Amino acid sequence: MSGEIDVIGSFANEEMCVHAIEELKDAHIQPTRVFAPIPSEHINHALGYGRSPVRALVLTGGITGILTGFAVTIGTSMEWWLNAGGKPIVSLPPFIIIAFELMILFGGTSAVLGFLLNSRMPQIDPIPGYSERFSSDRFGVLVRCPESEKDRVEGILKGAGGETVVHEAA
């Protein structure tokens, strides 16, 4: 572990940040972490990320919701078999509404849970390399590399228009 350092490049805008990532990629250096004040498809694209697994989770959640909705409504109605206004015991049209609402509810909560799980949140411990400006007006690219690589990485980052800071890896 010793000898590893974090090189952080700080950029004024998204374009420069994307440019830096592309440069790093060209140099076969994988940026360890990118900080951004805004969600950016360009950064994701540059990093080569695919679709988030949150999608699948939401789908699962939604289907679970629908199934729960129908199970709860049909099951509890069958339990007592109470006549209300001569309507059928299993009245599907109203149950669809419940199933629909539960689909949204379960889907929505899965989306949030999926996001939290996937991004390891909530997280109180600090993330190495984070700077307060990264939530405001700076984009950061962190590269964890052996100390030997420091100059090369720094060069690329600076070349892309960034200012660099070097930390010892935590």
Partner 1 sequence: MSEGFSRRSFLKLAATAGAAAAVPGCQPAARKLIPYVVPDENVIPGVPQFYATTCTECGAGCGVVARIREGRVIKLEGNPADPIGKGTICARGHAALQGVYNPDRLRNPMRRQGSSLKTVSWDEAEKLLNDALKAAAAKGKNRIAYLGPAHQGPTLRAITEAWLAAYQSYRGIFYEAISETPARDAAEMCFGQRDLPVYHLNKAEVLISFGADFNETWRSPVELGRQFAEFRAPQARRGKLAIGYAYYVSPRMNITAGRCDEWIAAPAGAEAAIALSVLNVILSQGWVSPNAQIDVAGLKSFVASYDPATVSQQTGVPAKTIEAMGERFGKADGAVALAGGDDPATHAAAYVLNVVTGNLGRTMEFLEGMPPEPETRTNDVVAALDSMRNGEVDVLFINETNPVFSMPPAWRAAEAIQKVPLVVWAGGVPGETAEYAHLLLPLHHPLEDWRDTFPRAGVHGLGQPVMQPVFWSKPLGDLLIASARESGVKNAAPWENSQDALRTGWMKLNPKAAAADAEGFWIQSLREGGYVEPTQQAQVKLNVAALKTSPASRELPKLVLAAYPHPFLYDGRGADKPWLQEIPEPVTQIVWDSWAEIHPETAKQYGISKDEVVEIRSSEGVIKTAAHISERVCKGVVSVPIGQGHTSLGRYAKGVGANPFVLLKPGQFSAAVTISPTHTTHELATALFKEHELGRSIVEAQTITELANGVKPKEWQTDEVPKPYEMYPTWQYPVHQWGMTIDANACTGCSACVAACYAENNVPFVGRENVINGRIMSWIRLERYYPEQKYEHQPLLFLAPMLCQQCHHAPCEPVCPVFAAYHTQEGLNGQVYNRCVGTRYCENNCPYKVRRFNWWKPEWPEPLNYQLNPDVTVRGAGVMEKCTFCVQRIRHAEINAMIEKRPVRDGEIVPACVQTCPTHALSFGDMNDKNSEMMKRRVATNNDKRTYRSLNELNTQPAITYLRELYNEREKA
Partner 2 sequence: MNRTILPLAAVLVVAGLLTFGLSQRPWAPRADVPQPIPFSHRIHAGINKIPCQYCHEYARRSQTSGVPPVARCVGCHGAALVGGLQPVTRPWMDHTQPPFEIRWNRVYTLPDFVRFTHRPHIAAGVACQTCHGPVQTMDRIEPVHEINMGFCLTCHTQRKVSTDCDTCHF
Partner 3 sequence: MAAAAEPVSGPTYADIDRGVRKIMEAPGFVYWVWVGFCFTLVAIAAALWTRQIYVGLGVTGLRQGPMWAMYITNFVFWVGIAHSGTLISAILYLFRTRWRTAVYRVAETMTLFAVLTAGLFPIIHVGRPWYAYWLLPYPNERSLQPDFRSPLVWDAFAVSTYLTISALFLVMGLIPDVANARDVAKGWRKTLYTILSLGWRGTDTQWQHWSMAYLLLAGLATPLVLSVHSVVSWDFAMAQLPGWHSTIFAPYFVAGAIFSGVAMVLTLLIPMRKIMHLEDLVTEWHIDNLAKVVLLTSLIVSYSYGVESFIVWYGKDPIEMMTFHERYFGPHGWVFWVCIFCNCIAPLPLFSPRVRRNTVVLFIITIFVNIGMWFERFMIIAVSQENNFNPSQWAIYHPSITEIMITVGSFAWFLGLFSLFARFMPIISMTELKEGIHWLREAVRDDYYPGLK
Contact residues for partner 3, defined by CB under 8 A = 13, 15-16, 18-19, 31, 33-44, 47, 49, 51-55, 58, 62, 72-73, 76-77, 79-80, 82, 84, 87, 91, 94-95, 97-98, 100-102, 104-105, 107-109, 111-112, 114-116, 118-119, 121-125, 127, 130, 132-137, 161
85 lies in the binding site for partner 2 (CB under 8 A): no
Nearest to 156 by CA among 45, 33, 34, 8: 8
Which CB, 26 or 125, lies closer to partner 2? Answer: 125
| Dihedrals phi, psi of 165, to nearest 5 degrees | -130, 145
Which CB, 100 or 150, lies closer to partner 3? Answer: 100
Which CB, 3 or 118, lies closer to partner 3? Answer: 118
Longest dimension (CA), the chain: 81
Q: Taking CB under 8 A as the criterion, which residues in 67-86 touch partner 1?
A: 80, 82-86
Contacts of 165 (CB under 8 A, 6+ apart): 7, 8, 10, 131
Which CB, 154 or 162, lies closer to partner 3? Answer: 162
Contacts of 143 (CB under 8 A, 6+ apart): 6, 7, 8, 9, 24, 29, 30, 31, 32, 149, 153, 157
How many Cβ atoms sit within 10 Å of the Cβ of residue 36?
A: 19
Min. distance of Cβ 146 from partner 3 in angstroms?
22
Which of partner 1, partner 3, partner 2, none sits in contact with 86, Cβ below 5 to 8 A by type? partner 1
Q: Which residues bind partner 1 (CB under 8 A)?
A: 80, 82-88
